[in-house]
Each structure stands twice: as C-alpha cells, then as structure tokens.
Structure 1
C-alpha cells in the first residue's frame, strides 16, 4: 500500500471521528451502554445511514422518501402499514361506512402528543385543511383519495372549509368522499394524512418543524437530536399508545453521501445497514449480509417543456433513444437496477387478467444510435438550431453524479452538437429547482405512493405539484379523470395503459432510465425491519436487535 493511499485512509478515519462528534450521537457500543438493560441482554439500538438530510418535518409539506420515513416513525395517523404493506388500525378503534361507502366515520383511541396534549379529531381536520389551504406538494393525494370537494378546492372553485372532513367531537372523525374508493383505506397510511396540533403549529409560526424542538410527535419514536446535513436520533416514545410493541430504545441515523464513508462506518460497527455504491458491490457481493432489492422507484429525466429546444418532441425522443440503459444498470450501477422504457415499473401491478402492466404496454422510444441521430436531426431542424448546450440538475449524491456523468457521455457521443453540463446541488435544493422549473433537464426519481399504476400517471396533470415541467395534454387529463371514477376494472385498466401511451408514445414527455435496485449490507441481528414499496420506505416500530 502506497503512502498516498495510507494518508487518504487516515484522513477519512479522522473525518469519521469529527463527523460522529459533530452529530453528538453514540456509536453502537456507547449507545448500548447508555440505554442500560440487564447484564447479557442485547441492547436495542439501531444505527442506520441515509443519503440526505430531512428536507422538512412538516407533514403537510413533505414530498420525499426521507421525510416520509421520519414522519412515519415519529407520528401516527388513522392507519399504518403492516409487514404485508396492508393498512392496519393505528389511532382508529372503529371504522364505520355508510351504505354507498362515501361517508367514513372513525373513532379515535386515547393518545397524546409529546407535549401532553391529547390527539383529537380536530387535529386531523386542521392538518388536512392546512394541506389544501397552503397548496402543499401532496394535496393531489386528497383528490386521489376522493375526498369531497378536494379537486374543486385545488382549482380555487371552493373554499378550504368545504373539504370533506369534519371533527364530530374530540374522538370522532367523519370523512366524506365524492364516490366509493377502494384505495381509500390504503391511502390513509400516507404521511400527508397525519394529524397536527393546531395550537402548537400556530405558536411556532414560521419556525414550525424547522428543528426537532419545533414539532410534536405522537408515534412510536420521538426525534431528540437533528444536526442538519449530519444526522438525527430517534428515541422510543414511552407515551406512545402501543409502546409495548416498540422494542428499540434508540435509532441513530447518519447522513452519508460518500459511499466510502458508509463502508467504513459499517466495518467499524458504527452503522448496521448501508446502501452500497456500484464500486462497493463487487467487493461485498460475497458477504453473507449482502442483498439486492428491486424497488418500485423509478429514475428518469424531466425536460423543461418551456425550453426552446427541449420543448421539441423529436429532441426529447432522441435523448430517450441515445442512452444505453442496460450498460447504465449493469456496468455503472450494478445494484440490481434494471432498464426501464416505460413509467410504470415491472412487477408493480397486474391487470384483472393477471398480466403485468409493463408486459402489456411494452417499451417506448427505443432504437439504435443511428435511429436516434435521425430523430435528432429532425428535431434540430424543427427547433432551428445546429447544436444544443443545456445543463442537468441533479442531487449531490455519489450515485446520481455517476448516472449524470454516464448520461453526459452518452448524449455528447451519440448526438452530434449536444453539450451537457452537470449541476449538482443538495437533495432539497434539487427539489426546489424542479418545483420552480428553473432547469433544462433534471435527474429525478419517483416512488409510488400507493399500489396502483395511477400513482405514476396522475403526476402529469397540468399544474399538479408533481408535474414540475409545465407539461400538459388534454387527452391525458380526460383519461385520468375518467379512470378515477371508473368501476369496471377492465375498462379502467385500459385507461391507465392508454394514459402511459400518451405520455411516452405521443409526447415523449420524459425519458425513463431505470427501475431502481438497492444493494445493501445489513447485519443479520436486525429483525423485523419493514421495507415498504409505497409511501414511507421503512417502519422501525417492530424492529428488534438479536445476537
């Protein structure tokens, strides 16, 4: 080993010491000592890594997987997901429906916020109406759930007070739907439907949810430390209504953007579970704790449809065709990801006849480099330019940088006159840039909110908070609206298939890249860690540590 290599490793180790000290979290060993327990008893402390900081702790504003996971573990709504990803009663003790299943009445159990206040029906009414009043990023979930008047409120045709939720008394919540909705109960597990304590939120004002002390908790854990861009710490909520089911005493979450740092933290027993970079897969694939998971999350390129060149369909189609996605997944990523030429991923949802959505609709915008170049030339002529110089907006994670560099090389090599500049920013800032549509291309990801193809298809509605590229198509709008109320499952499924065809075949509106895979190392002593394909990624409520 050369001197430069030794020096680099030494500096990384020094950085780890400073990093851990800055977080003020305990290592596995010191955490175990802190939490006590009988001699010989395994200490219940979980140490995990995450790729980015928490963008927000405000459930009405959260719109990413990291925030959803934190909120899922420090808060409690009407329902939460179980080990089979099915909704189970959380704060609900009784759920009644009227005959046509449009009015749902929930009775709440006794539970408290972390400041001692009781959780009431009014907390649900306040939070839900706040989502609609503030035009929150996930207010479209209320339309998806079919909450009465939610769409009219989004369109500013009705007032927020007309939303179909009402606190009958302190323990009774009444929710009214536009029509019966088979997805309704599953959607209630989603963090956007969590309650909030109105008095506390209003007391905090613009400081609400900016720090751990500026938010209340009513879930399995509380957040006791949050050092921005470094990590956070959960502790068991002893006042949680189901505290006996929670075995963990604490969870330390470390923000680790450098894959090499993650490996070192794992090897030195500072963390128990890490996501591996592509370089680390080859070195660790024979480890007994190694595993790959094919996720329903998709990675794709957004185009700014207002851009004078990227607004051209042929240009977008050429970009789709010019990228070798199989080499991207098999050579660059190597983490179990698979190429994707649609927007609904493989293995996510089957038709009423049992066929996979992806198999039925097939692939879109595929072809050879030569075919891509012909489409490219047509697009350049239509746009009246001879070359294109644009930038791509990406999060500053290592994997996203690699993907962007690969795309840059592919497009510059395969499309004459194409120049792509990479702009890496923190994850939260990437989202803000997308929302402002202040980009040319953006490397984006989307994880499903619920188990239905609509979760990938209704995000392209004009003006929707998930659109983020000023795309619109009237036929797509009509199909989505019809599919939301269609009770014939065969007809509805065909509507969903046709919606994807409009997005990709007719408009080439985005460039799908791959269905995400995750390569992980997780110690075998970690039991009952629930990984969910929709909504929040993880539930820690039932985790135990065994030796």
Structure 2
C-alpha cells in the first residue's frame, strides 16, 4: 500500500485561522471542556468509497469513520468490531459472524445485508475496484470479478439481519485480519444508489458506522471528524473533535506544531536534530517499501539489465541516513522486515537475503550490455513521476543526481499531487515512478500478489509466467510452510528480473504532544486509529 508530499502561504494562514477559531487544543479535564485533537495530513483524501479507494490517506479516514467486522487494536491484532462473535468450521472454510446491535450515523441498524452488498459490489466487474482481489479467498469471488461466475455464487450471504455466512475457497490464516481492511467495510445500498457517482465525495453523501463522522471537508484545505453519538462503543471514544489541516510543506507543518496549532504532525528530516531526545518524537515503524516502478512497456525499460543498472546505481544508505533521517533502512527486496510468515517468523529471515546492492561499476556494465541487447544507441531522457511534498522531493532529487552521476541518465522530475500521480500510474502514462506500498495485512502476499500479470496494481506491466504460477498456487495452498517457500521463490524472481528497484523500508517520525494518549499506529492497513485517543492534562 499498501501505506501509507507544497501549499501556498495563503493555505497556512487559512489553516491557522481555522485552528484558532476552534480554540486550539482544549486540554482541560473535568470542567466540561471539549477533547479536541488537531493534526496535519499531507494530501487530500482522493476518495472515500471503500469499494474503490486505494490510497493510504483515504484508508486512515475510513478506518476512523467506518468499521468492518473486525478492526486492529493497539497491539495490531484483529478484535471484534461489527462482529459480536464468529463461529469457524473445523475445516476453516466457513465463518459465521453474529453482528452486534449497532447503528449507522442516521440511526438505522447495521445489517448483515450491508456487508453482503458491499463485498459483492467491490467484486462486481462494473465497479472496477482495484482491490477486488482482496476478496478472492471467498468462494466464487474471483470468478464473479473476472466475469466467469455470478454474484449469487459468491460465498457471502446474509442469513438474517444479524447473521453473515462466509465460505472460503481454501483456509486463509489471516482472514479475520482481512476483514479489518477498508474494502471489507459495510455499505448501505440505499445511500450508495441515492448519490451514485457522487457517493462519498462530501460528508453528507455517505453514512458512518465508526467511532467518528466526517463533519466538514474543505477540499484540498482541511477536514474535520466529530464523535459519532450512534457508535456502538461511543463511551470508549473520548475525543469530541479532530481537525485535520492538509499541509504539504514540511516547514509549515513544523511552524504549526511549534506554535501549538497542531498536536500531531510528521517530523521533517531538517528538524530531527532540533527534536532529538525530546518526548514529542513518535516513531512509526511501517510495513512499507518504497521503490522505483519501471514501465516495462517503455522501450528503454523492457530490458532487465537496464532496470538492474538503475537499481544498482542508487546509494540507498546515503538516501536513508543523510536524506530521509527518519529511521528508514535500505531495501534490497520487496517485502519489508515487519511482515511475518508462519509461526510469527519474519519473512525476510525466511527469505535469507536481500537481492540488491549498490555497485556503480556493475551498474555501468549492465547499462552498456542492456542497451546493446535492446538496440538502443543513445540514452533517452527519462521522466520520473513523484510526489509534490517537500520530503519526497528531496528523495527524488537525490535519485535524479545518482542516475546522472553514475549512468549519465538525464532525469526530468515531475512532482504531482497524490491523486494526479495515481491517475497517471493507473493509466500506464509514465516511464519511471517513485512509489511505495504499505501492507494491507500481515502476510507477504499483500506485496507479492501486486505483480501478477494483469494485476490492477501492476502498473509497470511486468510479467513472468512462473511468478504467476507461484502466486496463484500460494493464494490457495493449505500447506502454509510450502506456501512460504513458494513466496520466497516468487520474490527472488521479481528481484532477479528487476521488476522494481527497491529503495528503502520506510519508518516515519512524527511529533506528538505528550498530552496526546493512546493514539495507535498500525504497520498494516490504515496507519492510525483515533478511537481510543484522548488528551490528558496540559
């Protein structure tokens, strides 16, 4: 991801005024004062339709205004959400969920039919959900999504208003964790059909069943959450209000934090020395890998040796230690160290190695060999798609300098807003892209299934038949040890052909006031949960 970027001075002034109007952070206790949390986000949420959204910003919003059968707790374990209980058959192919008495924000009950409708809507080919494959463990799901089966044959059925039956193709050890992911959220059919294409584009064009509701949304400026008084566990939710300012420039973020306008914000690399050792520093160890995505339909990037040359030309250690300075570490493979295999063992330990190294001499050699094989006599100018946030721009400028210095490649940087970049990548309208993916759940499949031929997130169009076979087999293999061995082989194939150039396993530094308690960060799925957060003291 999946997971989980410059605005004008005018935006800073607007954000500051908005926060001032809210009274800043009222941290008083026992005197009727509101519990208010102010924070920053880097980008506008591109879309809040849980059947369609694909980005980390939207996932955080959905995680806090919606709730699936399960949600992740402070220990990143799935705990009951809308599900009151679950009965799992002995063969682990059938799950029968009993729903608790819960309501939508308009007072109507949350029903099992809301889950059946939502899941089948995500699978419906007409929806064009890029995350439909997440539902493939369900019996008949893939056939329906690929127009080879019917919706009625999909193994999800509301037996009554409070009972949801789910049948799987094969046992899936992480299935309950999957149901905490946003694509598995319930949806109200009447609301979705009422608003059509405008569903979830404004706060009043959706309903909510999570801890908060989205009360305001000034696009590309700010948005606001308020406590959902219809939430089934509302007594646990302490925050009355969360104000989010969309600020791309790191200097502006730091100014908002240092002047007490926000309580939680990303910490820029230029400010790490200033805050080193202070209790405000909050490190979020993500299950995320950042990489260069090659468009293998582009003539220059069709050759694996050229792709390998570019990967070898980048000094990842300097990138993480001198540019990022946030705890990220160099990546030599796709799956990050946080992701586990069987019995809680790290997948990286099971794989036994990293595949990419920094080697300028070998990079030059491979570039020459690759160009001869491809019949390319002159190095073309390359456009690199990237993000327009200040931190990402520095990464991209470093990559540009490295490729020019070592390989003589002239790189044009094209920094874009998050949603603009996603649209171009989805359309295949790029040569090289600075990208990243955060884990949607705790299993290496969340990374490795991205690069199957024809996959919705395989935006570089790399293809390998043996890789496809290994992934397909592993999606339904009940022998979990053999499954992991096949996934290790698949990653090795991906790296051997340099489908991507891994850069770093990301860790992020944030500033969080010591008075903000129980704000939980997750390495998988949505980055943050505010359900349990509260302000304590001053």
Q: Please say if residues 223 and 233 of structure 1, whose CA atoms lie closer than 8 Å, have aligned partners that are also in contact.
A: yes
2:475 aligned partner: 484
How many corresponding residue pairs? 527
Q: Please say if residues 352 and 490 of structure 1, whose CA atoms lie closer than 8 Å, have aligned partners that are also in contact.
A: no
1:339-354 matched pairs, under 5 angstroms: 339-349=330-340, 354=345
Asked if 1:392 is matched to 2:374, the reply is: no
Offset, 1:455: 1.1
Offset, 1:152: 1.5
Offset, 1:352: 5.0
1:7 aligned partner: none
Question: Cα distance 1:224–1:25, how it changes in 2: closer, same or farther (>3 A)?
Answer: farther
Q: Distance in 1 between the 2:236 and 2:224 partners?
A: 20
* Stretch moving more, 99-108 or 169-178: 99-108
1:258 aligned partner: 249
Q: 1:19 aligns with which of 15, 19, 25?
A: 15
Q: Distance in 1 between the 2:85 and 2:506 partners?
A: 38
Q: Please say if residues 504 and 510 of structure 1, whose CA atoms lie closer than 8 Å, have aligned partners that are also in contact.
A: yes
Q: 1:415 aligns with which of 395, 407, 420?
A: 407
| Local SS of the residue matching 1:472 | coil
CA offsets per residue over residues 404-429 of structure 1, 9 Å max, x none? 1111010011103x111111111011
1:240 aligned partner: 231
1:55-66 matched pairs, under 5 angstroms: 55-66=46-57
Q: 1:136 aligns with which of 113, 129, 134?
A: 129
Offset, 1:38: 4.5
1:404 aligned partner: 396
Q: 1:151 aligns with which of 127, 142, 160?
A: 142
2:519 aligned partner: 529
Q: Please say if residues 386 and 414 of structure 2, whose CA atoms lie closer than 8 Å, have aligned partners that are also in contact.
A: yes
Q: 2:26 aligns with which of 22, 26, 32?
A: 32
Q: Distance in 2 between the 1:67 and 1:412 partners?
A: 35
Q: Please say if residues 395 and 427 of structure 1, whose CA atoms lie closer than 8 Å, have aligned partners that are also in contact.
A: yes
Question: Cα distance 1:25–1:111, how it changes in 2: closer, same or farther (>3 A)?
Answer: farther
Q: Report the TM-score, using the length of structure 1 for normalisation.
A: 0.93
Q: Please say if residues 65 and 211 of structure 2, whose CA atoms lie closer than 8 Å, have aligned partners that are also in contact.
A: yes
Q: Distance in 1 between the 2:74 and 2:22 partners?
A: 26
1:505-520 matched pairs, under 5 angstroms: 505=496, 507-520=497-510
Q: Distance in 1 between the 2:41 and 2:239 partners?
A: 19
Q: Please say if residues 480 and 499 of structure 1, whose CA atoms lie closer than 8 Å, have aligned partners that are also in contact.
A: yes
CA offsets per residue over residues 472-516 of structure 1, 9 Å max, x none? 1111111112222223333222111101001011x1110000011
CA offsets per residue over residues 163-206 of structure 1, 9 Å max, x none? 21111111111111112221111111111000111011101111
Q: Distance in 2 between the 1:355 and 1:180 partners?
A: 21
CA offsets per residue over residues 249-296 of structure 1, 9 Å max, x none? 111111110101001110111110111121121222243312433322
Offset, 1:470: 1.2
Q: Report the TM-score, using the length of structure 2 for normalisation.
A: 0.94
Give unmatched runs, 5+ long, in structure 1: 1-10
Q: Please say if residues 345 and 358 of structure 1, whose CA atoms lie closer than 8 Å, have aligned partners that are also in contact.
A: no
RMSD: 1.9
Q: Please say if residues 297 and 515 of structure 1, whose CA atoms lie closer than 8 Å, have aligned partners that are also in contact.
A: yes
Q: Please say if residues 125 and 165 of structure 1, whose CA atoms lie closer than 8 Å, have aligned partners that are also in contact.
A: yes
Q: Distance in 1 between the 2:353 and 2:342 partners?
A: 14
Q: Please say if residues 352 and 489 of structure 1, whose CA atoms lie closer than 8 Å, have aligned partners that are also in contact.
A: no
Q: Please say if residues 335 and 347 of structure 2, whose CA atoms lie closer than 8 Å, have aligned partners that are also in contact.
A: no
| Local SS of the residue matching 2:244 | strand
Q: 2:416 aligns with which of 401, 404, 425?
A: 425
Q: Please say if residues 43 and 545 of structure 1, whose CA atoms lie closer than 8 Å, have aligned partners that are also in contact.
A: no
Offset, 1:346: 2.1
Give unmatched runs, 5+ long, in structure 2: 1-7
Q: Please say if residues 341 and 347 of structure 2, whose CA atoms lie closer than 8 Å, have aligned partners that are also in contact.
A: yes
Q: Distance in 1 between the 2:24 and 2:404 partners?
A: 51
1:163 aligned partner: 154
Offset, 1:350: 5.0
